[in-house]
Structure 1
Amino acid sequence: MKSVLVFKTSVGKEKEVQQIRPSLNKLMQKNEQWNFDLEDCDKILRVETVHLTAKTIKNTLQTFGYQCEEL
């Protein structure tokens, strides 16, 4: 069953999203997706996934030096 994980992040610019994009794409399986809402004050990352955990997403962003907290 697909679940939706929602995170508050410190990613603030589109160029930062482009930096993270390859790593997030590698984590995704078919029919899974992710997106950032940089207009939101919490810089929301939304991930639709069947198999990923919040910890995996959080660790991936922290590797790039960004804060990430599940909401």
Structure 2
Amino acid sequence: MIEVFKTNIQNIKEAYFVMSQLLKRFPDYKINFDLEDCDNILRIDGTVVHPQIIVECITALGYECAELT
């Protein structure tokens, strides 16, 4: 299952930080960013992805995140 999120993550340093934090909690996820997209897209691929938990985790790190439907 792939979930897609809009973020306010601006650069690769922030993206790597967020990715590392998410992978600590969800080590089986495949995570990538598309920072060239106007929505600074975050994609997460996993067997079961709970979008609300992802939003909460990223918000706790001080960034904005919203699920794209």
What is the aligned length?
67
Distance in 2, Cα, partners of 1:18 & 1:6: 17
Q: 1:17 aligns with which of 5, 11, 15?
A: 15
**Superposition CA RMSD, Å:** 1.1
- C-alpha displacement at 1:55, in angstroms? 0.9
Alignment of 1:37-56 (within 5 A): 37-56=34-53
- C-alpha displacement at 1:52, in angstroms? 2.5
When the two structures are superposed, what TM-score results if normalisation uses the length of structure 1?
0.85
Distance in 1, Cα, partners of 2:63 & 2:27: 19
- Deviating beyond 4 angstroms after TM superposition, the runs of 4 or more aligned structure 1 residues are none
* Paired residue secondary structure (1:40): coil
Counterpart position of 2:65: 68
1:9, 1:69 within 8 Å by CA — same for their partners in 2? yes
Structure 2 gap segments, 5+ residues each = none
